[in-house]
Structure 1
Amino acid sequence: MRFDVLTLFPEMFEGFFSSSVIGRAIEQGRVEVSLTNFRDYSTNKHRTVDDTPYGGGSGMVLKPEPLFRAVEELVRDEPIRPRVLMMSPQGVPFTQLKAEELAGHDRLILLCGHYEGFDERVRQHLVDEEISIGDYVLTGGELPAMVLMDSVIRLVSGVLGNESSAETDSFSMGLLEYPQYTRPADFRGWKVPDVLLSGHHAEIDRWRRHQSLLRTWERRPELLETAELSEEDRQFLKKLKEEAGGG
């Protein structure tokens, strides 16, 4: 899988691309990344990429010419145009489901904005989709781009040492992940649940499923509205509500 990132600050990605899971994925050739400073595609001698907004107002707006030229250069030899994503607080919320969808693409182009945002013609005629990582505003699109890439890259086949890790993460099954424990079995009097030491895998799986349901019900109950639930799941949740006095 390949990512092309258009940014005015490529140096921000140096540590991100060289560390941890992301660094190994790139080193192993499972993921390819390319950084493009779209200032290099400015159409004037001063390499200007922004200008004052028509109609007045504070701040500066990113000009369309450098971004169009940069993307058109990147896709010149592509038989099928890669998907172009804009990191924007106005975009659709980024979720695990969206990460899984994007992981199905061979190549993605990410636009990282700054200042007061992009000229509207970039949105209308260059971008396929706008994506937001939350209802807040950041200085630029670089951090959201890193969040998106981190979430997507770990879904690429072979990136994680244990392929089942991604499948059991929070949100991957529509629920929050169950509690995890490791050695020692008794730490300062706080003991690992007996079922996890039993060696009875069916009971362990059942306990983990119930814990996922419990944690989701306590912390993110809205997720239960769309999660795939079995009849046993529904009975367990019904019992939780009854015990809590919720009927």
Structure 2
Amino acid sequence: MKTNLFRSIRNVGLFAVLTGVVAQMALAQQLQTNPTQIDQTNPAAGAAMDTYSGIYQTPWFNEPSIRQQLQMNDAQYDQLNQAYVTNWNRYNARINQIRNDKTLDSQQREDRLEQLNNSFHDSFSNSARSVLADEAARQKYNQMYYQYRGYGAFYDPDVQQKLNLSETQRQSIREAGRQWNRQMGRYNRDYVSDPDVVLKRFNESRSEYSEGLKKILTPQQEEQWREIAGNRFEIPANVYFDNGVTTAKPVLK
């Protein structure tokens, strides 16, 4: 009986080992055939694969200091947050389709992601207009949103119309915006491990962004843009980079 018992135990142990080996082989095969696994709840998880979008599941205006600067009441926040969630759900479903589409080359994927990002911002901006009925509140919100988006703000139809951008200027802004997003993608990747260094580089990039605009816009357009964007708001860096891992909230100076 003892012999049979030991034999059974040995067989069970061998079965467990074989099961573990098979599981590891299956996992290795899965990773080999599908090496990039995108987090369905966080599009920013694909930042190493794609350029930066700045569109997270948690809205940028959720940051307490931003809500304070915007003087947004609870009712406005709740409505705006619901509009954001609705738009984000559509965005998240589509972005994973694009990222997992193996028929697209890198340039086509970047084009599709850029179109999707602009579509998200246009749709959400329309929602914000209906939520923020007060003109002064809406203007302040738009100004901060423009500042938050950087080059992306110049894709806004209202901004393009007010500045009367030429086709050459639009192409220059598009290329500058793509370079900016690639750089931001690297910052986003490195922020968790070394936030101080990234913050320093990010501040340097912000200065380069301002200088870059001067090379694209005419002096008259620069003045118009300052009126459109308003006074500079303090936007914490974690709004750009934090994926829920880092709690530090350094403020841009």
TM-score between the two structures when normalised by the length of structure 1: 0.24
TM-score between the two structures when normalised by the length of structure 2: 0.24
Q: Relative CO higher for 1 or 2, CA cutoff 8 Å, sep ≥ 6?
A: 2
Structure with the higher helix share, 1 or 2: 2
Structure with the higher strand share, 1 or 2: 1
